[in-house]
């Protein structure tokens, strides 16, 4: 009898802790609008692999905001990121956004690189970053290096000359 009472109490504590975590996750994960010291900014990418809600948005390596939402644009076939940034960041309208990673196995984040324009992106929630670069698929990148396809093949279908070959001589089949 005493063991079943102890097991019941331990079970109740586990359920209470799980309920507290669930409540915290629900409260933090809502789609609330940007706070008073933040504004929303949109950027369109061709590939946002590795980015999810809550991913960092960084400027010069410093956290400036978070990714608020990710959606797809079926007309333009692009991923649309909605980011929430601190209002202290006045971004020029030629700012560049790209998907970066923390090292080879690190998590992905959005890196903003401000341009040199004198005009700023509006902070009223209607701003959009025009210049974006999506994430790089590392498997495809490694496969291209492994196959030796470095993009230097000529356009007529022949392979490039081996190293040390005389470039001034015409090809053997040239007549």
- The 10s digit of each residue's pLDDT in 67-99 is 999 999 899 999 999 999 988 888 888 899 998
Q: What is the mean pLDDT of the segment spanning 21-37?
A: 66
- Does residue 1 lie within any of the structural domains? no
- Does residue 43 lie within any of the structural domains? yes
Measured at the CA of 151, the angle between CA 150 and CA 152, to 5 degrees, comes to 95
Q: What is the mean pLDDT of the segment spanning 105-115?
A: 86
CA–CA separation, 40 and 126 (whole Å): 7
- Does residue 65 lie within any of the structural domains? yes
Residues 66, 84 contacting (CB under 8 angstroms): yes
CA–CA separation, 68 and 54 (whole Å): 6
Q: Of the candidates 24, 102, 93, which has an alpha carbon nearest to the alpha carbon of residue 56? A: 102
- Does residue 81 lie within any of the structural domains? yes
- Does residue 119 lie within any of the structural domains? yes
Highest mean pLDDT among 110-119, 136-145, 162-171: 110-119
Q: Of the candidates 42, 94, 36, which has an alpha carbon nearest to the alpha carbon of residue 71? A: 42
pTM, whole model, 2 decimals? Answer: 0.60
- Does residue 147 lie within any of the structural domains? no
The domain total for the chain is 1
Q: Of the candidates 54, 50, 124, 42, which has an alpha carbon nearest to the alpha carbon of residue 81? A: 42
- Does residue 27 lie within any of the structural domains? no
The residue to which tokens 């070959």 are assigned: 165
Quickly state the pLDDT bin for 157 (edges 50, 70, 90). Answer: very low
Provide the residue range defining the domain that includes 129: 38-135
- Does residue 129 lie within any of the structural domains? yes
**Longest CA pairwise span in the chain (Å):** 100
CA–CA separation, 175 and 170 (whole Å): 9
Highest mean pLDDT among 22-31, 44-53, 123-132: 44-53
pLDDT at 150: 55
């Amino acid at each position: 009898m005493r063991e079943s009472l102890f097991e019941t109490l331990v079970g109740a504590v586990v359920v209470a802790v799980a309920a507290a975590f669930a409540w915290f996750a629900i409260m933090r994960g809502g789609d609330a609008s940007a706070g008073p010291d933040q504004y929303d900014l949109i950027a369109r990418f061709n590939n946002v692999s590795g980015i999810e809600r809550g991913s960092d948005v960084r400027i010069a390596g410093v956290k400036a905001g978070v990714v608020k939402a990710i959606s797809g644009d079926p007309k333009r076939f692009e991923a649309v990121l909605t980011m929430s940034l601190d209002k202290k960041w006045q971004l020029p309208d030629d700012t560049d956004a790209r998907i970066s990673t923390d090292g080879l196995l690190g998590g992905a984040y959005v890196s903003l690189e401000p341009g040199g324009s004198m005009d700023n992106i509006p902070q009223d929630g209607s701003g959009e970053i025009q210049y974006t670069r999506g994430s790089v698929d590392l498997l495809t990148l490694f496969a291209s290096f492994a196959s030796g396809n470095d993009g230097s093949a000529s356009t007529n279908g022949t392979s490039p000359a081996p190293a040390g070959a005389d470039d001034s001589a015409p090809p053997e089949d040239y007549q």
